[in-house]
Chains A and B, each alone.
Chain A
């Protein structure tokens, strides 16, 4: 009579030290001992990143994600697309982040009742029910300091007493009856450069990935359309469900009734034919001497093709080889730290001024007797450029239909380093 069921059976939240600090079952209860298989795999994997997301055990399958130092381990009994579960678990983590400002063990423990209420609404019998933030917020109000004080005095509740009409409509991402005194719509065009630069400074691989994050606070049911000066740049786009696909296909215009609040409107990739302008260059000299317990380290970062904008927020991180004991460096700008346990060197450079290029130079101390490291470490660079979309993408105009008021509109551009790696 025991019938196997699909989708998510149970969820365990586990912290880095291996404590199960929350469990939720949507069907009959699965014993915590099932997590032993997970711990076993975790031990084998050495570091957290290498725990396989899917583990097969004699009676269950475990599908897990790792977010913000927490493992979300779900228990599955039968065939299910693994991405379905993974995507859902990330959605849960996103929701916690959205509600509590951070998705941490403390935040979850402090708000355990809300967490439970959320999980109850998000999944019915293991199948996703309401995952849209707008609907959830109608059902369960996010905690605020004021409200928690008021609640504790008056005994009123977190649970919304209005019924979530959004769930019934076919624009489930927007709640009804939104009202603002100031109507505003902001769009952040954020582009990230992914690149691999080889030893000699030439680009092995580079592409631009972008997103448009929106913050929309508009009353009523506004119908927006956002157009670009150069929409052909966008090679591959993925959409928030609110966007009308056909309109984009035919006119290259983003037409949508937005959700209320913050959300990601689109993600895109800029067509790879366009050569990517790399805004910084790195000069490096890292060497380890044979049969001596030291090496040299000399890195300079400089701006390149930055279209007259300043490169700022520059940070370099390097995973040094295991044999490195310590580093004795001097930075002409910013400050550096070296963690002898994780062997990570971090150099916080800040803003680059072309007149005086930041340089980090000094001696590397190696374990005596250990063989010379085979490989020079790769340098991971982060940076930011304000008011620039490196691809050249430009928003043309934003029009609003369906409502009478005049909203305040704003667009902000920013370029950042994505996975930007320099091989040495």
Chain B
């Protein structure tokens, strides 16, 4: 020993010398030896000072190995580790993006609490780096910092929010990972990025795809309605009726009827559809984890009719490594209970080969049993017959259990199964016999009367079979049905009494049980035997058995004290017992998110995020709308579609729909005054990708001033209600339709905007049954049609009112206008000003409300008032013509205030116009609906300029 230690020291001295030398080759040699030590789990921490000196070494491999060492030991040698920090800080400023990234990576991996502030700063800076690779590294660093100091959570969330808005595929997976670790509860951060994530998904790297898909599954469960809600409606209402107290019943019924009416025409939210559509191709990923992630997404989110597509992909995974098979089969087992039909075509893919590992065999058996039904049961049973002869005894036992389950579930084959199992009773292998006995016992319980032969047969087995569980089962059967085998039962008891002392505990308990039952039914033959058994049990070593014997004696043997209970003994012991239900151990496992560790273990794993239930009512879908003027949307939607068509390599895909959100996200940040990141439309990353078509700035960037959409329609004629054309005379073949916003509340539904429609018949013929049909509203939008106009004489004009709930968005409502001969596709697009209704309030109230809507909800714009628009009258006229708002009385004479509420959600919209000297004025709009605010500002500015 004394000799050995100096040796070790000597070797380390040798390494130190090498590390201190000037030659890189020696250093490298030393570092390699040190890393080999670490790899073998040997302690190399005493070399720390010598190693850390080389952190700035020029040789890349030496440097990398030093990093490996540093990350491994920094936690133990915090003070010394600090020496290396400045090197990394320098690296963070390097012009090469890879060096910046690698510096951040190592810096954030050093688990030394003192450097938390430095890490925080570095992460923040990297999050706005030009290079997406550095931003990705920043995303990776977030969980590292969080695990070191959870107090940084709030600041980190800000960084996550910023990175979520990033539009590159490189960053997406990593930042969602960070999101899941730091703040999975902040689902609100996802809204604005939802569509972008869906669209980028196919081009994110595989590992990121898994994380994003799992997160989006949870998100969708909180934001959309169940696509299968109609089928569960009946159950639900039954439940409600049950719980509803009487006086509330009437009210409940009404509400229910309303909700039924409202729910019946379930229309899937387009965003919900988007997710399903964009994940589907990933079922063809080569990565099993991605396939599984999509499969669970479909299982949890798709309409019943569409879930089937995942079966094929999952079956494909069964060709993969056995570990993959193991996990996939566990999930298939759970799925096959709820959605049996989808795996039925693949029944044969679950057939078992003798070379499968036992754990795989048993899982396949589980799936086969779940898939069994009346039509395929004979095939399955034939297959099971080959399995029973397997050499793998655990597998045989499981097969017998499976047969039992098939027999209970499918009445038709119960007798066949039972006969098969009885044959197994003469099997040479005791385990097989024992397992069969246990299963037969369960089956017999269902219809004992017809099977006294089988019971007799089993009674004979007590002589040979030794497995305790099987013996106990036989005894229980004979006791329970002793009246069917009156001659044999006492004889069995006699034999068991003889061997009582040598039996296992569970067998002893059943012997007592048998004795008691026989005593009650056939006391003449068994009285003495029972006494004998009870006496033996009284002195047994096991106190359970002693207790049981004492208890039973009191119950069955009439004494003076026992009294009333005794009379009921027979009822107690020989009551009808319900047959056991043999069900899958995978039943109800789907309350865990499929594919998760928790599902596999069937217990909640640490850090598991519960899969929420569908909401009863869908939350506001407009939260996912991105903050650009809405009217660019239609075009950008089409554009997006086109881009999706163009497959893969599509970072550029991010530029259509997705970028909107990316950009607006940044806008938010800057408004809050925290991000000073350099503009991201940088050349750096995009230009470097040669095979990709050069990146074009999105078209809409230049466009906000291109057309102001509906606002140009606003009449210069003050106050007059402007009419819009719905159907031109030519297009309508003589029928012309105009509409206007009457600015009156729509009768019947306060959340709808009233649209007055004027229809003129310019043809020579009568137009019959004029009506609205097939409204195809976007998510959440509702249309209340006008009553059908039966006939419209030539030259006549009729005016009707319809109600539309635009959901506080300026997206068009599309529907068809039908006559008895023709259909016309038309759409109504509201100017933003028509989406609100005036509110009257005092100046004080106004100021109070305005105070609540500061910061991001406030939009300010400088206005120059033209000559003719400087009078009070003109200003008020122009504003009220641009928007349906009410004037708020105002103390100061150079200020104008207006207030309104949006029609659908009732959010306040407050407008303030402050006149400065001359033509200058300032317009302020406060509203929590930022989209509406932004658009309204533009509309008003436009109106004032005229």
Contacts and interface: CB of A to CB of B under 8 A. Distances in A.
30 contacts: A49-B359, A50-B358, A54-B600, A61-B605, A64-B323, A79-B608, A79-B609, A80-B597, A81-B210, A82-B595, A88-B289, A90-B321, A116-B35, A125-B143, A127-B177, A127-B207, A155-B23, A163-B98, A168-B132, A168-B133, A170-B649, A170-B692, A209-B319, A239-B286, A240-B286, A246-B645, A257-B691, A319-B354, A373-B391, A374-B391
A377 B288 CA distance: 33
A112 B292 contact: no
B605 A78 contact: yes
A378 B289 contact: no
A78 B607 contact: yes
Contacts of B316: 236, 238, 267, 269
Contacts of B327: 53-54, 82-83, 86
Contacts of B595: 81-83
B212 to A, nearest CB: 12
A120 to B, nearest CB: 6
Interface residues of B, number: 118
Nearest to A153: B25
A247 B606 CA distance: 42
A421 B353 contact: yes
A269 to B, nearest CB: 6
A182 to B, nearest CB: 23
A117 B202 CA distance: 29
Interface in A1-58: 1, 3-7, 20-25, 27-29, 32, 47, 49-50, 52-54, 56
Contacts of A20: 41
Given A125-B109, A157-B28, A221-B691, A49 B322 contact: yes
Given A81-B595, A168-B133, A377 B146 contact: no
Contacts of A82: 327, 595-597, 600
A49 B691 contact: no
A408 interface: no
Interface in B342-387: 348-349, 351, 353-355, 357-359, 383, 386
Contact of B351 (A80, A171, A172, A205): A205
Interface residues of A, number: 109
Interface string A97-121: 0000000000000001101110010
A170 B473 CA distance: 65
Interface stretch (B57-65, B222-230, B746-754, B930-938): B57-65
A6 B596 CA distance: 13
Interface string A269-291: 10000000000000000000000
A304 interface: no
Interface in B282-341: 284-289, 291-293, 312-313, 316, 319, 321-324, 326-328
Given A29-B72, A82-B327, A117-B64, 7 more contacts: A52-B359, A79-B597, A125-B140, A170-B689, A241-B205, A244-B648, A374-B429
A86 B143 contact: no
Interface in A182-223: 194, 196, 198, 204-205, 207, 209, 221, 223
Nearest to A379: B354
B598 A79 contact: yes
A155 B288 contact: no
B203 interface: yes
A204 B350 CA distance: 12
B40 A22 contact: yes
A157 B60 contact: yes
Contacts of B149: 1
A171 B691 contact: yes
B326 A52 contact: yes
Nearest to B98: A163
B144 interface: yes
Contact of B169 (A28, A65, A170, A205): A170
Contacts of A235: 312
A417 B316 CA distance: 17
Contacts of A377: 354, 391
A205 B349 CA distance: 8
Interface of B: 23-26, 28-29, 32, 35-36, 38-41, 59-62, 64-65, 67-68, 72, 75, 96-98, 105, 108-109, 111, 131-133, 137, 140-141, 143-144, 146-147, 149-150, 169-170, 174, 177, 180-181, 202-203, 205-207, 210, 214, 281, 284-289, 291-293, 312-313, 316, 319, 321-324, 326-328, 348-349, 351, 353-355, 357-359, 383, 386, 389-391, 427-429, 595-598, 600-601, 603, 605-609, 644-649, 651, 685, 688-692
A194 B320 CA distance: 13
Contacts of A240: 286
B144 A125 contact: yes
Given A79-B606, A129-B140, A239-B285, A221 B690 contact: yes
B284 to A, nearest CB: 5
Nearest to A173: B205
Contacts of B131: 168
B146 A127 contact: no
A87 B284 CA distance: 15
A322 B392 CA distance: 11
B434 to A, nearest CB: 15
Nearest to B133: A168
B207 A245 contact: no
A326 interface: no
Contacts of A239: 284-286
A362 interface: no
Given A53-B323, A81-B289, A238-B284, A205 B206 contact: no
B35 A112 contact: yes
Nearest to A163: B98
Contacts of B281: 245, 249
A95 interface: no
Nearest to B362: A50
A338 to B, nearest CB: 17
Contacts of A21: 40
A295 interface: no
Contacts of B390: 375
B517 to A, nearest CB: 36
A4 B383 CA distance: 47
A178 interface: no
B206 A241 contact: yes
Contact of B293 (A81, A88, A163, A236): A81
Contacts of B428: 371, 374
A4 B607 contact: yes
Contacts of A127: 140, 174, 177, 207
Nearest to B603: A56
Nearest to B287: A87
B358 A236 contact: no
B64 A120 contact: yes
A76 interface: yes
A124 B68 CA distance: 12
A82 to B, nearest CB: 5
A237 B646 CA distance: 20
